[in-house]
Amino acid sequence: MTVRQVQSGDLPRLLVGAGPRDRFHHVERAGMQERGEATYLVAWDGDLPCGRGTMFHRSKYERVRDLLGDFPELNGLEAVPRGRGIGTRLVAAAEARATTLGAARIGLAVEHGNVDARRLYERLGYVEWEHGDVVDRWFERDGSGTAVREHADPCSYLVKNLTGR
C-alpha cells in the first residue's frame, strides 16, 4: 500500500467505478489541491484506491482561525478496509506534508459519536483544544452533485504539535 498526493493522471483512475458521492469528493479535493488550498492524499493498493484524506492548508472553521491562526487541518479521512493501518498511514502522510509546509501544528474535527476515529487520533498524539466544539457544516449531494441538504454537526476539535518531531 502506498500513500501519496494526488497527481494529474490519478483522477481518471479514481473516478472509475466510483459512486456519485465519491466522484464529487475526488473532483472537489483534487481541485482544491490544484488551487493550492489543500493537499489531497490517496492510499493505493496497487491500482485501486483504498483510502483518502485531505489536508486543508488552513482550517475550514472560522473560530479556529480566529483563535489559533492559520495551520493545516485534516479532513475527510476514510479507509476501506478498516483496521489495516491505512488511516494511520494517511494521518502520518498529512503530518509529514504539514511539516514540509513549515506548520507547527495540525488540527482536525471529529464528531462526538465517532469513538473509533477519536481513539485512533488520540493514540497518534492528538489532544482536544481548550475552546469547546466546532460546528462542521457540509452539504449532502444527490447523484448529480447538487446540494440537497445542509448538515451542521457539532464536533470536538483536536490538535497535534508537530515541533520536536
Query: What is the spatial distance between Cα 26 and Cα 40, in angstroms, rounded to a whole number?
Result: 9
Smallest gap from Cβ 77 to ligand COA, in A, equals: 4
- Sole window of 16-24, 60-68, 110-118, 125-133 interacting with ligand COA (rule: CB under 6 A): 110-118
Smallest gap from Cβ 160 to ligand COA, in A, equals: 14
The 16-55 contact track toward ligand COA, x by CB under 6 A, reads ----------------------------------------
End-to-end CA distance of the chain: 24
Smallest gap from Cβ 21 to ligand COA, in A, equals: 13
Q: Is the peptide bond before 154 cis (omega within 30 degrees of 0)?
A: no
Query: What is the spatial distance between Cα 156 and Cα 132, in angstroms, rounded to a whole number?
Result: 7
Query: What is the spatial distance between Cα 19 and Cα 67, in angstroms, rounded to a whole number?
Result: 38
Contact with ligand COA (CB under 6 A): which of 86, 93, 103, 134? 86
- Are the C-beta atoms of residues 9 and 94 closer than 8 Å to each other? no
Write out the residues near ligand COA by the rule CB under 6 A: 77-79, 82-88, 110, 114, 116-117, 119-120, 123
